A and B are shown apart, each in its own frame.
Chain A
Amino acid sequence: MNKRTDRIYVAGFAVLLFAFSLLFLFTPKKAFSEMENRSLQKKPQLTWEKLLDKTFSEQTESFVTDHFPLRDQWVAVKSTMEQLRLQQENNGIYKGKDGFLFEQFAEPEPLDLAKFAEAVNKFAYKNPHANISFLLAPTSIGVYPERLPWLASAYPQSIVNGTIMEQVREHVRFINGFDFLKPAAEKKPDRDLYYRTDHHWTTYGAYLAYRAYAEQMGWPPMEESEFDIRTVTNSFLGSFHTRSQFNGLKPDSIQAYLPKNKVESEMYIFDDDTTVQGLYEDSYLAKKDKYSYFLGGVHALMTIKTELPTDDVDLDKLLVIKDSYAHSVLPFLAMHVPEIHVIDLRYYNGNISSYMKENDIKDVLLLFNTTTFSDGQEILKLGY
């Protein structure tokens, strides 16, 4: 090494360190990351207490990493490198065939599964007069394992669904998502049942779930021809994309099934005591989190009231206890039930059985996907 090169080393290192240091210190800080869909760490306050219990150092570290200059670009560089070295995963997301991304699915702990199934049974036991259906939907990795990267494997969700079915079917009416999704995938492989870049099912997938539930309830399901199927966006890059940051992906489109015979629905959201007209929130289509177009995202508790012609009413009241897979199913259910109560277990902390008594609810639909169900401690709230 000659002296001139050494000087460049010293200068280059110093410039790099100080430039990013100053950029970090003096650029304005964002409060929310659209890309990561979360609030970023605020500037930590120094107190003795926080210093001694290490929260100050932890928060400072998050503060630096959350607001690091060019954060999104660094993340993209890493993702590119990982793909260049033939790695088929990034941050727990597989880059599958046909532009499909998948979230890894490992074998769930059998004891956990048994506990969760037991919670469902307890719920049925506590509400002996209720008519309870339980729809368990696989996620995309369960239905499309052949689209995983070469030689990659996932634990079969069909086994998980089968196990749970065995444990609950004497207490609730079980609908296995595989029964209607798998045949549809085989019959029309071109129609996507799931988004490629997001963990949710498409509105078509949701429609099939609705049909299966309607048939089980003995309602005449509406045909696809009775809807005006509209593409509301073509630029949906969902949660799998957010996590993996794989580049070169084709964005998904989102369809809305709008009934040709129009009905008026309104949502009352208990969380913030607001009433919203309609079941869709257009403003989300301009944001990252486009799936929240359905129902405006997650709410702990809400009711959906729909004005239906008396002939169309198949059931007066229904309670749906669900994860976000239900968001695109609920507009279909609203075509049959004028009053739907919707509870999200993660945020709702009340007693569900007493809620049912207070509101005189006799019919319940539990709707979860296999991933949520098999690692969601929240399911246990059903048994309380």
Chain B
Amino acid sequence: MVFSSLLFLFLFLPAVLALYFISPWRIKNFVLFAASLVFYAWGEPVYIVIMLLSTVTDYGFGLLLGRPGLSAGKRKAVVALSIAVNLALLSYFKYADFLIGNLNALLGTDIPLTDLALPIGISFYTFQSMSYIIDVYRGTVKAQRNWLDFATFVSLFPQLVAGPIVQYSTVAEQLRNRKVTTELFAEGVRRFTIGLAKKVLLANNIGLLWDTISGTNPLMMPALMAWLGIVAFAFQIYFDFSGYSDMAIGLGLMFGFRFNENFNRPYTAQSITDFWRRWHISLSTWFRDYVYIPLGGNRRGLLMQLRNILIVWMLTGFWHGASWNFLLWGLYFGVLLIGEKMFLLKLLQRLPRWVRHVYALLLILIGWVFFAFEELPSIGQYLLAMAGSNGQPAWNDETLYLLYTNAILLVVLIIASMPKRQLRLADKMPILKLSWHFALLLLSIAYLVDATFNPFLYFRF
């Protein structure tokens, strides 16, 4: 199930909210767990077994680690085993076919592909489980004795399928002790509404522009159209993803959970280093805490630090998908970050603010080309189109048509990406803010209904 559907909004959510609030405190986690299973099983009736399996084993490993008197060697073995199980699950479903495909191409072998569909959310819940086990091992959190509480943490439907990656330490206390107040719930409604509008009104509509442009042959594409396309993609992916995070955070609030922020106006970044502090924060934090720092971080000299940065960013890229372009994308940012660490940041500090901003945006946009196309030749062709080196004119009628029919949307997207300035008027007149949020909610519903509007076009023959 996805949040941006009528089924979720008008059947699932009201039913779960009603059940949750009439239930006594001691079964509230059970209600959430059961609801999460339905939510997950809705799209993945079979793969739910895998999620439960991962939950049960990590619960067990956690208990083992929590036992007093376990020797250091055994504790290490338990952690290693848990990580191995999680990574094995993830690799088998996400990376096996990539590996087989490349092996076949390289060695001329003919190993059959597994052709498995990727279980929804597996990249997220395996990472959450690993964070738990490592934290218990490090002693930063206590092992969870209550299986239901642990299962609720892993399967919690607001963040189950697309993050943010909630670390166990963030919600450990809330699993036992949380309260939903009017303020919290109202804030949840606002966050959810904003997220829904980002996804349905902004991301989906600018996505149509990207669909049109990415469907055009890049060898025939004017430069302006290529730039318009990648800008559209940049907006689509940001508003889609951060909209989903907002909805997750908002839903969490409605049930009394406070998740960490996942985005912080990434397109206002002044450098690539800055960008990665603002983009998909829960993922970068995860890699920092569980890969970069254990590898030695910046404490073992410059050379080791550079190696660590490269490893982390290749993994980050690879986490996004089992394909060479994602590895390249990660590597691209790894190299840029190293450059900034070595000298670029110092240089940038001397330049005016707007130059730094343009520098960051340009590099981010070029990065999205690596992300958007799985086929490596397409990446090259698209970059050539952006550089105006494919022998096409700078623009054509179609470019101008796409530009003016999306001009208003683009302006809205730019404003929505800028730093949030509190409107004093809205604070003095809460009715304005209230109308704004409900207008967004109603408009989003209209777009959701239209997306399923499906006239039978009787005319084909």
Q: Which residues of A contact B (CB under 8 A)?
A: 1-3, 5-10, 12-14, 16-18, 20-21, 24, 35-38, 51-52, 54, 57, 60-62, 64-66, 68, 71, 74-75, 77-79, 81, 85-89, 91, 149-153, 199-200, 239, 242-243, 245, 289, 291, 297-298, 322-324, 344-347, 372, 376, 378
Shortest C-beta distance, A214 to chain B (Å), equals: 24
Least CB distance from B335 to A in Å reads 39
Let me know if B354 is at the binding interface, CB within 8 A. Answer: no
Give the docked Cα–Cα distance between A378 and B1 (Å): 35
Q: Check A376 against B460 for contact (C-beta < 8 Å).
A: yes
Contacts of B5 in A (CB 8 A): 61
With the chains together, A62 CA to B10 CA distance in Å?
13
By the criterion CB–CB under 8 Å, are B186 and A344 in contact?
no
- The residue of chain B having its C-beta at the shortest distance from the C-beta of A16 within the complex is B441
Judge whether A52 and B46 touch: CB under 8 Å.
Answer: yes
Interface size class of B (residues with CB under 8 A): 35 or more
CB interface residues, B 328-361, toward A, < 8 Å: none
Counting residue pairs across A and B whose Cβ atoms lie within 8 Å, the total is: 168
Take A38-B454, A54-B45 as given contacts and tell me if A17 and B13 are in contact as well, using a CB distance cutoff of 8 Å.
yes
A308 CA to B347 CA, complexed, in Å:
92
Q: Which of B43, B185, B408, B450 contacts A78 (CB 8 A)?
A: B450
Instruction: Jot down 23 A-B pairs with beta carbons below 8 A, ordered by A.
Output: A1-B430, A9-B185, A9-B189, A14-B17, A17-B13, A20-B10, A36-B454, A36-B455, A57-B1, A61-B7, A77-B443, A77-B446, A78-B446, A81-B443, A87-B409, A151-B398, A151-B401, A242-B455, A323-B459, A324-B458, A324-B459, A346-B460, A372-B461
A379 (CB) vs chain B CBs: closest residue: B461
Q: A18-B14, A78-B447, A151-B397 are in contact. Are A6 and B43 (CB under 8 A)?
A: no
| Separation of A242 and B187 alpha carbons in the complex (Å) | 39
The residue on A at minimum CB distance from B449 is: A74
Expressed in whole angstroms, the Cα–Cα distance for A242 and B409 within the complex equals 25
B9, B43, B453, B461: the one within 8 Å of A54 (CB): B43
CA distance A17 to B454 in the complex (A): 24
List A contacts of B14 (CB < 8 A). Answer: 17-18, 21
**Whole-angstrom CA separation of A54 from B117 in the bound complex:** 14
Tell me the bound Cα distance from A36 to B461 in angstroms.
Answer: 17
Complex CA distance for A79 and B185, rounded to whole angstroms: 32
> Are B461 and A151 touching (Cβ within 8 A)?
no
B457 adjacent to chain A (CB < 8 Å) = yes
Measured CB to CB, the nearest residue on chain B to A71 is B449
B438 adjacent to A12 (CB under 8 Å) = yes
Which residues of chain B have C-beta atoms less than 8 A from A88's C-beta?
401, 405
CB-CB under 8 A from A7, the residues of chain B are 182, 186
From A37, which residue of chain B is reached at the shortest CB distance? Answer: B456
| Closest chain B residue, CB of each to CB of A36 | B455
B11 is an interface residue with CB less than 8 A from chain A: yes
Q: A149 CA to B401 CA in the complex, in Å?
A: 9
Q: Assess whether A6 is in contact with B182, with CB atoms less than 8 Å apart.
A: yes
Residues on A with C-beta less than 8 A from B446 are: 74-75, 77-78, 81
Q: Quick check: A24 and B10 within 8 Å, CB to CB?
A: yes
- Complex interface bits, B390-433 against A, C-beta within 8 A gives 1, otherwise 0: 00000001101100111111000000000000000000001101
* Residues of B with C-beta under 8 A to A77: 442-443, 446
Whether a CB of chain A sits under 8 angstroms from the CB of B223 is no
Using an 8 Å CB-CB cutoff, how does the interface string of B1-32 with A read, 1 for contact, 0 for none? 10001110111011001000000000000000
Interface contact B430-A5, CB-CB below 8 Å: yes
Which A residues are in CB contact (< 8 Å) with B397?
151, 153
Secondary structure dominating the interface of B: helix
Cβ–Cβ contact A91 & B456, under 8 A: no
B449 touches A65 (CB 8 A): yes
User: Residues of B contacting A81 with CB < 8 Å?
Assistant: 443, 446-447
Q: Which residue of A lies closest to B403 (CB)?
A: A151
A298 to chain B: which residues have CB within 8 Å? 458, 461
Q: Are A74 and B398 in contact (CB under 8 A)?
A: no
Residues of A within 8 A of B7 (CB): 60-61, 64-65
B456: A residues at CB distance < 8 A = 36-38
Q: CA A85 – CA B409 in complex, angstroms?
A: 7
Tell me whether A346 and B453 are in contact in the complex, defined as CB-CB below 8 angstroms, given that A3-B183, A86-B404 are known contacts. Answer: no
B42 at the binding interface (Cβ < 8 Å): yes
With A3-B183, A78-B450 known as contacts, the answer to whether A346 contacts B461 (CB < 8 A) is yes
**In this complex, what residue of A is CB-closest to B5?**
A61
Are B10 and A199 in contact (CB-based, < 8 A)? no
Give complex CA distance A16, B444 in Å: 13
Find out whether the CB atom of B398 lies under 8 angstroms from the CB atom of A153.
yes
A1, B459: Cβ atoms closer than 8 Å: no
The smallest C-beta distance from A30 to any residue of chain B, in angstroms, reads: 14
Q: In the assembled complex, which residues on chain A have CB atoms less than 8 Å from the CB atom of B453? A: 36, 71, 75, 91, 245
Give every chain A residue within 8 A of B46 (Cβ-Cβ): 52
CB distance from A90 to the nearest CB of B (A): 9
What residue in chain B is nearest A300 (Cβ atoms)? B461
10 closest A-B pairs by CB: A38-B456, A6-B186, A65-B452, A346-B461, A74-B449, A9-B186, A151-B401, A78-B450, A77-B446, A5-B430
Among the interface residues B190, B401, B430, B453, which one has the most CB atoms of the partner chain A within 10 A? B453
- Write the nearest CB–CB distance from A347 to chain B, whole angstroms: 7
Contacts of A79 in B (CB 8 A): 450
Would you call B409 and A2 a contact (CB within 8 A)?
Answer: no
- Nearest opposing residue in chain A for B190, CB measure: A9
